[in-house]
Amino acid sequence: MNLYNYFLNYNMKLYTINAGYFKLDGGAMHGVVPKSMWNKVNPSDDNNMCSWAMRCLLVVDGDRKILVDNGMGTKQDEKFFSHFHPHGDDSIEKNLAKYGFTADDITDVFLTHLHFDHCGGSIKRDGDKLVTTFRNAKYWSNKKHWDWAINPNEREKASFLKENILPIQESGQLRWVETADGDEWMDNFRIRYVNGHTECMMLPQINCNGTTLLFCADLVPSIAHISMPWIMAYDMRPLDTLSEKQKLLKEAAANGWLLFFEHDHNNECCNLQITERGLRVKDIFTLAEANL
């Protein structure tokens, strides 16, 4: 790394941008784990629904302001929202403003994958039109996942909504990530590809001021999912999720990485330790407390 990039990296800053909360079925989110276990860490309501965050990440690096994922948005109809019960007063706009930014300041929208709760905020309604929320940004996906999303299988199609996806391409703002697994997409921003949850999901692995943070997306949606058997029923290939978790979490523990949880209602970040009983959580903290 040259001296310029060193100081640029030193000035990188990461911000938690919470897009709000919603509800999903507890059994679906925890897979084969019995309710008697998961209900202790994320208690459900009378309809078996648990509350989950849509916690996004803003990476400010020089002139670039990169928003990783953007929640479900607000453009869907009442029937849609009745299934997912969005709640709380957080929003992308409110939490960007908290740090002095607006949607127009975003230069890049990095989409880990195109499920509605990760990319729905990409598009908003303007009268009878669907337009991009971040009008000055490039939107980043990868061709393999994009093709999977616009030609969905029957099991996953309810998560891929054309109104969230096609207007990005129609806007002319769509770009393809072509980085190989583990390589840098930009300085200090590597991409790890995983295929268990959905085809070719991208996890940002960010080196900020000498500390590595892994944005876990839906590979490890909450701190409870660090446990190997805790795999969502939503995952297309659960055994691939298992092997991907084993590989990346061992790497995280061995190298002192921080994990950033997109869906955990209560916990933003943690680090790991290797014990006689396997991988375990070491410390739990917010991104602000990590001072990144």
- Can you give the residue ranges of every domain in the chain? 3-290
Model-level pTM? 0.95
pLDDT of residue 42: 95
Sequence letter at residue 204? P
pLDDT tens, position by position, 51-104: 999 999 999 999 999 999 999 999 999 999 999 999 999 999 999 999 999 999
CB neighbour list of residue 95: distance below 8 Å, 6 or more residues apart: 16, 17, 18, 19
Output the CA–CA distances (angstroms, integers) from residue 111 to 1, 69, 119, 168, in the order listed: 27, 5, 7, 11
| Cβ-contact 265, 258 below 8 angstroms | no
- Grade residue 3 by pLDDT with cuts at 50, 70 and 90: very low
| Cβ-based burial of 2 (10 A; exposed 0-12, middle 13-18, buried ≥19) | exposed
**Mean pLDDT score of the chain:** 95
Percentage of the chain beyond pLDDT 70 is 97
Among residues 273, 245, 270, 246, the alpha carbon closest in space to that of 260 is found at 270
| Residue labelled with tokens 């129609």 | 170
pLDDT over 70 (residue 19): yes
pLDDT tens, position by position, 125-149: 999 999 999 999 999 999 999 999 9
pLDDT over 80 (residue 10): no
Its CATH architecture, for the domain 3-290, is 4-Layer Sandwich (3.60)
- Cross-strand partners of 13: 60
Cα 148 to Cα 112: distance, rounded to the nearest angstrom: 13
Q: Are strands 108-110 and 64-68 parallel, antiparallel or unpaired?
A: parallel
